[in-house]
Amino acid sequence: MPISSHLWVACSMRTKKDSDTHPCAQRTLRRVCQRCVDRFSRMDAIFIEDNPMRMQLSQQAAERLGQSELVIITERVDDVAFLIGQMVKMGLPEVLDHHIPRHWTQRGLSWGWTAVIWLAYIVTEGDHRKVSMETSLTGMHHTLSRLTAQAIEPLDFRDDRLSHLLKHLSKPTYWHQIERELNARSIEIYDLSQDVIRCDATTVSGDHEVTAEGLLQFGQSKDDPTRPQIKVMMGSLDPLGMPLSTDVLSGERADDGLYIPIMERLRTGLKTTGLLFVGDCKMSAFETRAYLARHHDFYLSPLPLTGTTAEAMDAWLTEGVTKGEAGELERILRTNDRGHEVLAAEGYEFERTCGAPVDEAEWSERVLVVRSPMHANQQAAGLEKRLRHAETKLAALTPPRGRGKRQITDEATLMEAIDLVLTEHRVDGLLSVAWEKEVEQKTQYVGRGRGSLSREKRVIQTTRSHITHIARQENKIADLSQRFGWKAFVTNAVQKRLSLQDAVLCYRNAYRVERIFNRLKSRVHIAPLFVKLNDQIEGLTYLLTLGVRVLTVTEFVLRRSLEQAQASLPGLHPENKQKVTDKPTAERILKAFSDVSLTIIKNAAGEEILRRLTPLSGVQEDILQRLGLGTALYRQLEIQEMRN
């Protein structure tokens, strides 16, 4: 006869989102979680009675376990084990412990393991609030203890301890050394090329009070200029787009002066010359170019249409148009997604000598004048749209006479309105407008009352200026269209090091550094900032860039493995089960490990009798093997055989 035994269920399932709460948490443990029961149905040992708080053991289970009160704990493992394993492989806890000193009275987790566990939570949940980490720890205690082989206590992640971690990370003496060692390890472990470095800056806004000494200040912003912001300057490694160096600065600073300090750190850390630095037009400041040329490094950036460049650009474009008509432009082809070769750009180049400051040598640089057909088509479409809108607005300036139709009576007022429309739509000189003066006379009786033959009359004259014709200046529009799509780049790299084609295709990979900023804002959710002090803001930003580094390396290594094996992964697109991909994103890789849970059975004395993990799918095992993590990363959480 089976023996009844109480099975108290404590499902401490960690929730992915508020809408993904575990059924046990929703029903306040009124019934045993069906997911937990299904997981043990393979044992053929447990079934549920009608009483929702009571379970009955089969004879097989009763013989093994005896008549004891059991506790079942279910924890969500998901991608947390994956992230911790990847960070350990990258040496993150070791590097942090090496450079952040531990006080002799400090107990509990080291700073390295504290950062790794907190970072795994942030990347998974997208929540950097300190209070959230302390709360979530209760639902993952067993998993984290097993993965890290550390004794983890709730006090290890209390608010003040996490604040101390951020304060340590904000110190340049610690952070710069951490960056340098992590860069060296990643380049060595994953055999990364270190030829091309991309530099760029972004802004992060917050609802903070602006103070004179604060990092958050008002400044130029593409996100929200009405809110104070910080500026994040970053250098990343091509082709994977891994953050190498990060600076956090006050939000009102211009980008031009931020390049040289971060380039200096990168050059010193990588300990090599001949690096190619790629950036936007703000990186082409003369001081920045002179600095790189002086240290025997290379640069590639577009020239801004200001100063002497704006004056010379007209002659460069004229020469480019002339060469294009003569068929003398160098054509640059690329292969699109369908495997077809298409024209990416065409252009020419010339050399010029740049004068350095006093007592410094001059250097030669190449000016690459390039035309992009796609960019030209976009500019042409934009011009056509502006012309149409301008024509519509011009026609509306002088509507037909009628009730409620306001007329322009003064010719000077009409000319001013026409100039305003042409300037607003940037079509000045491309549209010709003709107008004429209309005079209308109307006879009225003087005074009130009925008219008569002898009554005095008066003539009222009204004048209005009326637009009669709007025409496009086709010749000027055609001349302007020939100048669409042109841009000038500058580099001091020789032709052998960086050809015209290589330069154009290299610059077009600028999205790689933009993906870092996108992940910083949309995956680890740096904004809004839930910290206020300057050292906390700096430390948190540096910590989150480590999370982006983990995502970037994971994505790059897996893609490289698939490319070398000429393989692809299925099942990463829930919307299309049949779709396979050889270029999975880090976000989809992490999503592939959702719904991995660990169920633990304990007896009344608190001894663990069994640990059972959700079986890993073939895709999950393949990912783990290709990243060099192995399935043992998850299998170590289990106790396969039931203990007496």
Return the domain boundaries, the chain: 4-78+593-635, 378-444+456-482
What is the per-residue pLDDT for 358?
Answer: 62
Residue 236 has pLDDT above 90, yes or no: yes
- pLDDT by residue (tens digit) across 24-54? 333 333 334 444 444 444 333 333 333 222 3
Please compute the mean of the pLDDT values over residues 347-368 and round it to a whole number.
84
- Residue 57 contacts by C-beta under 8 Å, 6 or more apart in sequence? 2, 3, 4, 5, 45, 46, 65
| H runs (alpha helix) in 56-201 | 59-65, 80-89, 92-99, 111-125, 130-136, 141-148, 159-169, 172-189
What is the per-residue pLDDT for 629?
Answer: 92
Among 31-35, 89-93, 389-393, 618-622, name the one with the lowest average pLDDT: 31-35
Residue-level length of the chain: 644
What is the per-residue pLDDT for 272?
Answer: 87
Please compute the mean of the pLDDT values over residues 269-283 and round it to a whole number.
91
Neighbours of 498 (CB within 10 A): 19
- Residue 7 contacts by C-beta under 8 Å, 6 or more apart in sequence? 32, 46, 54, 55, 69, 70, 71, 72
Residue 623 has pLDDT above 90, yes or no: yes
| Numbers of helices and strands, H then E, in the chain | 22, 20
Please state, in angstroms and rounded to a whole number, the distance separating the CA atoms of residues 276 and 292.
9
What is the per-residue pLDDT for 62?
Answer: 57
- pLDDT by residue (tens digit) across 280-289? 999 999 999 9
Q: Pick the closest to residue 112 from 62, 178, 204, 48 (CA basis).
A: 178
- pLDDT by residue (tens digit) across 568-579? 999 888 888 888
Cα pseudo-dihedral 284, 288, 290, 291, rounded to 10? -150
Neighbours of 632 (CB within 10 A): 10
More confident call, 104 vs 383: 383
Helix (H) or strand (E) holding 332: strand 330-335
What is the per-residue pLDDT for 21?
Answer: 39
Please compute the mean of the pLDDT values over residues 112-140 and round it to a whole number.
89
528 pLDDT band, cuts 50/70/90, is confident
Q: Pick the closest to residue 553 from 503, 607, 516, 507 (CA basis).
A: 516
What is the per-residue pLDDT for 207?
Answer: 86
391 pLDDT band, cuts 50/70/90, is very high
> Is-contact 480 383, C-beta < 8 A?
yes
> Is-contact 116 84, C-beta < 8 A?
yes
What is the per-residue pLDDT for 60?
Answer: 59
Residue 407 has pLDDT above 90, yes or no: no
Residue 188 has pLDDT above 80, yes or no: yes
Please state, in angstroms and rounded to a whole number, the distance separating the CA atoms of residues 479 and 475.
6
489 pLDDT band, cuts 50/70/90, is very high
What is the per-residue pLDDT for 306?
Answer: 85
- pLDDT by residue (tens digit) across 536-562? 999 999 999 999 999 999 999 999 999
The burial class, CB within 10 Å (0-12 / 13-18 / 19+), for 317 is middle
Chain Cα centroid distance, residue 465: 54
> Is-contact 545 234, C-beta < 8 A?
yes
What is the per-residue pLDDT for 520?
Answer: 92
Residue 18 has pLDDT above 50, yes or no: no
The burial class, CB within 10 Å (0-12 / 13-18 / 19+), for 431 is buried
DSSP-assigned letter for residue 599: E
Please state, in angstroms and rounded to a whole number, the distance separating the CA atoms of residues 354 and 612.
69
- pLDDT by residue (tens digit) across 424-433? 999 999 999 9
- pLDDT by residue (tens digit) across 56-115? 445 555 565 554 467 888 888 999 999 999 999 999 999 999 999 988 777 888 999 999
What is the per-residue pLDDT for 2?
Answer: 32
